[in-house]
Amino acid sequence: MKGYQALSEERCGTCKYFRLHYRRTEGGRYYPLRCGHCVHPRLKNRRVEEHCPHWAPRDAEARDR
């Protein structure tokens, strides 16, 4: 997002509100895409490298998965 200054690790791809999208091949395998959506405070399309004022770190349990 334009206009927001953030640390490099504070990007949408590392946020607890970000849900990554995947692509399924004909062979049934899934590959992660570089986009997804944010669920806070409402649904918005986001890219992994974008920054947003709602960024929050993921829970320790989610990082270990």
Q: How confident is the model at residue 59 (pLDDT cuts 50, 70, 90)?
A: confident
Q: What is the pLDDT of residues 12-48, one digit of tens each?
A: 999 999 999 999 999 999 999 999 999 999 999 999 9
Quote the CA–CA distance of 41 and 63 in Å, as a whole number.
22
Look at residues 50, 45, 39, 44 and name the one whose alpha carbon lies nearest to residue 16: 39
The encoded tokens of residue 51 equal: 């920054």
Helix (H, G, I), strand (E, B) or coil at 47: strand
CB 27 within 8 A of CB 16: no
Give the whole-angstrom CA distance, residue 47 versus residue 58.
Answer: 17
